[in-house]
A and B are shown apart, each in its own frame.
Chain A
Amino acid sequence: MLKRYLTALALLLAAAGLSAQDYTGGVKGTVVNRNGRQPVEKARLTLMQGANTVAEVESAADGTFQIPNLADGMYTLVIVAPDFLENQVQVTVNDGYVKNMFNLSLTSMQQVTELDDDSFAAFDMDDSGYNDNPTILFGSNDIFNNLAGYNFSSVRFRARGYTSESQDVYLAGVRMNDAVTGYSPFSLWSGLNEAMRSKETVNGAELSDYGFGGYNGLTYIFGNASSVRKGLRGSLLTNSQLYRLRVMASYATGLQDNGWAFAANVSARLGGNDWIDGVYYRSFAYYLAADKVFNKSHKLSFVFFGTPGERGAQNASTQEVYDLMKDNMYNSNWGYQNGKVRNARVRRTHEPVAIVRYEFTPSDKFEGGATLLYRFGKNGYTALDWYDAQDPRPDYYRNLPSYFRDSNPDMNRNNEYKYAWSNEIWTHASEFPGLTHINWDRLYNVNYLQGGRSKYVQEERRVDQKDFNASVNFKWRASERFTLTGGLDGRMNNTEYYKVLADLLGGEYFLDVDNFAEREFSSQAWKIQNDLNYYVANGEPRKLKVGDKYGYDYLAQVRNLSGWVAGKMVLGNFSANVGLKAGYESFWRHGLMRKGLFPGYPKDENMAAAWRNLGIEPSEEWSSWVSKKAKFFTYAAKLGLNYVIGGNQRVYANVGYFNDAPKFNQVFLSPRTRNTMVDNLQTVKTFTSDVNWQYSGGGLNLRATAFYTTINDQSKVMSAYDDLQNAFSNFAITGIDERHMGLEFGFKVPTYLVDNLSVQGALSLGEYIYTSNPRMTQTVDNSAETVMSDVLVSYWKSTPVAARDENGNYLDDVVDHYQKHYVPSTPQLAASIGLAYNYNYWFIDADVEYFAHSYLDMNPLYRTDYATAGPDYNITPEEVLYMTTQEKFKPAWLVNFSVGKSWYIQRKYQLGFSLNAKNILNNRNVRTGGYEQTRLVDNTVSRERFYRFDPKYFYMSGFNYMLNIYFRF
């Protein structure tokens, strides 16, 4: 302590010595927490003039500070406090006055900062066509996001019911959402929490200074060297939900006298968890960055990072399986090999990102930036593949008791003997590990018997991107009243989709033929070839070795160019901003493998002759070569109005209209086999509006928002194995309309009874529904013909419930009411209330959450007239109700608790911990998502109706904790 004062004293003396005279000027103010305006004590304030430290003081218990004896001039005040983001402000001292800075707010580093892609289990959606990407809400300075981001994440809450694709994520000036799918890109830097900590977030349709954004907020991550907290930091984290251990270290120099700043961040995430067997991490991360400030107006940043590693995935099963296993977190992806656990589904990725950014600040009024960003590397996902062999999945429906007995006689399943044995297996799972989990030993043994040709292999599906981005942005404060921002963004994305043979599982080779095509075209050897050119040249399919490409190989080519401009006008307490954006987007498929099913035409007479010899028939549709180009003109407009009342209140509203291009993966019918696109491509049209009220002051912090959004003309392609067609089937759906409306409310209010104790809460109450009946085209991979062509999905937006007569029987043509269908996989009601205690670097949070109105993702097939009619073409009210009703999940209660504290030790070290305990009630029955299987049971006794296959579900983990211990040197 003494030493600290001596240092400060020495500095003051030095400053005094330099000036050799006394000044009357100075700086004073109060350091407060931006969230809640509570004073921050022991914040360290360093006053710099250029690179020279002029003074260093610490804030008092009430947050106040004073730096006297300053000469007139410009200074930089750097404020550092534990658990807060570093802040810098410019101070001008003139005429010898003590400048009162009033409140200097610090943004609290979220107490629960460990929120990134890792916070969510990777669910394996197989080839279902569904996706499961929750929105990641970051706390930053918004009270609602602060609470919802942490407390609602366990149930995969999606803000305002929007998909994660609609959440814009920018890194160093570049929008990072996946070019092909639009998915948010957090996995690219998970494990680099230190390096990517500095971010700014806006909500809904608000305009950000950094990019135009959409209707679901924009998160801007700085990512450069000087945004990383100075010093050497290390942390150890243990977690019972995802991985055992995370070790992380970071080092940053801060901006040095020579104009350079360097930063590095490395981490390793390792091990399994308490809940889901087979899920594990072996992931690493690295980050290197440098900033060079040439003079006040030029800055160059270099960043390079990557997160190599692997992560085992979890699969969904039917409730029957979960009940039999007495475990809602049963994972069918793993099994024993030689007694060791092996997961068949492993995500193996290494996608480095390289960034060069230039920033230009010629004056206080203008700042501009330009970024070049390149993402590359590999993204692999393993899975079992097999040729003419039994389905290796333990929970395949024919292995389950329900396949042998069903109480409904129409299902035609009644074999007590087999039911009993099947039930015996699943209820005594530990005695039958080879039947209730993948039996790797059996797969190897089958391969051993085949004379070299593997029947079972492990494939790795690759989605390798070459994503090049260039972006320019500027901000010009034209006057006190008017600020203009804008930018230009260009993107060239070339993503190669293919698979490689990852493991021959004891065999010597695997043949490159299409298993599904063979069922139908077994007598036409050419037609079942995945690589027809190889077959024509060699007279046989390729014998694949580990590492060989096979199956399919195509490029998704995406090109984007867009520009935006936004103006902000301030008139007293009123401000308004207007933004416009226009762009051009095009994409196409480029097939790199000529498949027997869709060979197209021969390229020359030699090839034509070879084809005639082998009886190969040309096709109109192409598996190889370049598809038509989908081209879109996109545009968007935003308007924001903002009114400040007094010092504490703000009322603001936003409206926006967006005409966006669909994504590549939403328009190609069967990109693995051919170039065909959905007919009648439409842009997605979104209208959004919100009205907000915010209050902060006196320790109170509130935000209330009402929002209304319509999203029209969306399209989607889903693929699934279709029993009726005995082939891989694709469902292209167009014209999906949604309406999202609701309220958000967040608050933190001091109790006034106990010092430093606040009550906090968040509420999200919405209605997110489908408002159209889309159209659907079904095709199969094996054939260019359509199975169902542009049929109406009559029951997509609602289920008509028929009126009943006095005997309770449904009346055929009288609808009593319509049951709405909802946007799935997020609670439409999420509420949290709790207590927060903050004192002397202690924090304690205890919250109770309630989630309700969450729905299962629907498949379109069950909502067609075809499925409701059944084989007899007769649609009855019972069939409609049974087939088209959307499943609603049960509501859930959760209790979470967090505690943390940090200490300064000898001024040199900082040590802290946070412990988060989630789901303290150990509720293991909370469904967070899942999907309906796109298959029908058709072999009934009556031949009058179809039945559904059981849906598959994902569950939230039971009680789990995360302990983070961090230290700083």
Chain B
Amino acid sequence: MKKIYIALAFALLSLVSCRSLVEEWQPVFTGKYANPETSKIYSESDLRDMGFSGTFTTISALKALYKNAPYAINSNIWIKGQVTTSDVSGNLYREIYIQDETGGIDLKLGKSSLYSEYKIGQWLYVSCADLVLGAYNGMPQLGAEADNTSTNEYETSYIDVQTVIDQHVFKGPYAEPLKPLVVSEQDIKNAISKGFTGELWGKLVTVPGLLYKKEIFALFYPNPNMPHKSGNPENRVFLSDNGTWGITTWALTKSRYISNIYEGLWDAAEVGSGATRYGPITGAPADYLKPGKILDSFGFDSHSSYKDIMANYATANYVSHYFVLGKTDVQVRTSGYAKFADERLDERILNGSACDITGILTVYDGSAQFTLIDEPSVSVIVK
């Protein structure tokens, strides 16, 4: 019997000795897990622990730091603003807009489904040091240092490393969503004339009395896996300067894009861009291109019509619809990934009724452009 006791003692000892008992017997908690506490909502006083100096810079003052080149913020600048956008409808992707009384800005938070964590109306505090203020075709953006790659065409990049987000973006209290600012044609003209620092850019606004111009703009890359920048006009198809091209929806989902191609709505659209025009999409690359590397890159597609190539590599696509206020054009640009992409423009708008549009007003190469945040039944009100 003594041997048994010795052996049992030995067994127990060896069970205990490896690591501490507590850790070993609960390596994974297997009981009922308690719900975690709600995460921290920062007040302005909390921010002092994070290095906040006590004074916020206004968004317009921040924008003023931009001088035609990306501006790497190297001082302890903090801004605050209320969230005005949500990516729930899918029309925005990896960006969020905040605004204070002086202006709005596009914060390039490079995560998806931001609406799950940032609520419209909520205050955000942004520590701007180490971030970069840049422009995208004239539109102010606050992001991270730009990628240092040969193809990069952006002045900033997404803030997508979680620690960078955690060090720069602090969630503040929830508040009532901001009311859109109702603007006139003159306001828009003023903003355009101010360029980058125009106060309207990035703000939630309502433009009343817009009329549909029955004109659209869209750019397709027949094979998006091939080079398709401006140096490769053989892989670009523009729909512009010719009415609506039969597009009556806010944007083109993949399936709508394919059905429009096969309905022949775009048969007259030409391959090419700028001065280089090859011919309609009913033709094939081999009809337009000389034998060589460029034609070769179409591979076994080179004798297929561009229509077939487009359908074969179809993706969702952006569409810009042109509206006009007085004499000023305002585009409404919508992503093919928006949940309302397949929704038709209201019949009355197509027939010439005026409408009030609410969304984020941005600037693109000197013209005003809308991004709808809510679905059109809310954001586009027919008079």
Contact = CB atoms under 8 A, between A and B. Distances in A.
A338 B296 contact: no
Interface string B241-266: 00000000000011100000000000
Interface string A420-460: 01101100000010010000111011101110000100000
B4 A417 contact: no
Interface in B107-159: 111-113, 116-117, 119, 130, 144-151, 157
Interface in B1-18: 1, 3-4, 7-8, 10-11, 14-15, 18
Contacts of B18: 240, 274
A272 B337 CA distance: 45
A414 B148 contact: yes
16 contacts: A238-B14, A274-B19, A278-B28, A280-B28, A280-B30, A337-B36, A418-B161, A421-B161, A425-B163, A445-B38, A445-B39, A449-B117, A506-B35, A523-B339, A871-B226, A874-B297
A454 to B, nearest CB: 11
Nearest to A235: B11
Contact of B29 (A341, A416, A519): A341
Interface string A520-531: 111110000000
Contacts of B113: 388-390, 455
Contact of B225 (A270, A455, A938, A941): A938
Contacts of B35: 338, 444, 506
A389 B116 contact: yes
B33 A342 contact: yes
A963 interface: yes
A68 interface: no
B263 to A, nearest CB: 17
B28 A442 contact: no
Interface in B272-302: 296-301
Interface in B306-338: 337-338
Contacts of A934: none
B164 interface: yes
A342 B26 CA distance: 11
A404 B254 CA distance: 29
Contact of B116 (A416, A425, A449): A449
Interface string B322-363: 000000000000000111111100000000000000000000
A965 B11 contact: yes
Interface of A: 236, 238, 240, 244-245, 270-274, 277-280, 282, 310, 312, 334, 337-338, 340-343, 388-390, 398-399, 404, 409, 412-418, 421-422, 424-425, 432, 435, 440-442, 444-446, 448-450, 455, 506, 519-524, 869, 871-874, 903, 905-906, 909, 911, 913, 938, 941, 943, 963, 965, 967
A452 B82 CA distance: 24
Interface string B86-116: 0010100000000000000000000111001
Given A409-B150, A521-B255, A965-B11, A909 B28 contact: no
Contacts of A906: 1
B38 A943 contact: no
B187 interface: no
Given A343-B28, A415-B144, A522-B339, A872 B296 contact: yes
Interface string B224-252: 01110000000000000000000000000
B227 A943 contact: yes
Contacts of A873: 296-301
Contact of B25 (A271, A421, A444): A271
A566 B38 CA distance: 69
A422 B7 CA distance: 51
B162 interface: yes
Contacts of B111: 390
Contacts of B339: 522-523
B38 A911 contact: no
Contact of A337 (B33, B162, B297): B33
A869 B300 CA distance: 11
Nearest to A412: B149
B345 to A, nearest CB: 14
A651 B37 CA distance: 71
A440 B36 CA distance: 8
A522 B253 contact: yes
A390 B112 contact: yes
A334 B28 contact: yes
B27 interface: yes
A392 B168 CA distance: 21
Nearest to A912: B7
Given A389-B113, A523-B343, A913 B7 contact: yes
Contacts of B15: 238, 244-245
A905 B3 contact: yes
A523 B340 contact: yes
Given A389-B113, A398-B160, A967-B4, A282 B11 contact: no
Given A337-B36, A341-B29, A388-B116, A412 B299 contact: no
Contacts of B39: 441-442, 445
A244 B299 CA distance: 59
B24 interface: yes
A520 B162 contact: no
B69 interface: no
The 7 A-B pairs of least Cβ separation, nearest first, read: A873-B299, A272-B27, A523-B342, A441-B36, A340-B29, A871-B225, A280-B28
Contacts of B148: 414-416
A905 B1 CA distance: 7
A446 B114 CA distance: 10
B30 A310 contact: yes
A374 B267 CA distance: 65
Contacts of B33: 337-338, 340, 342, 440
Contacts of A435: 162-163
Nearest to A387: B113
Contacts of B10: 965
Contacts of B4: 905, 909, 911, 967
The CB with the most chain A CB atoms within 10 A, among B24, B90, B112, B223, is that of B24
B117 A941 contact: no
Contacts of A455: 113, 116
B378 interface: no
Contacts of A441: 36-37, 39
Contacts of A341: 26-29
Contacts of A445: 36, 38-39, 117
Nearest to A237: B11
A446 B225 CA distance: 35
Contacts of A334: 28
A415 B147 contact: yes
B7 A941 contact: no
Nearest to A442: B39
A893 to B, nearest CB: 25
Nearest to B157: A415
Nearest to B21: A244
A442 B298 CA distance: 46
The CB with the most chain A CB atoms within 10 A, among B3, B27, B90, B130, is that of B27
A344 B341 CA distance: 36
Contact of B149 (A414, A424, A967): A414
Contacts of A519: 337
A446 B39 CA distance: 9
B3 A903 contact: yes
B299 A421 contact: no
Given A280-B28, A445-B36, A418 B117 contact: no
Given A337-B33, A390-B112, A409-B149, A418 B28 contact: no
Nearest to A245: B15
Contacts of B157: 415, 418
A812 B17 CA distance: 63
Contacts of A273: 27
A79 B371 CA distance: 87
A279 B28 CA distance: 7
A446 B171 CA distance: 13
A450 B117 CA distance: 9
The CB with the most chain B CB atoms within 10 A, among A343, A417, A432, is that of A417
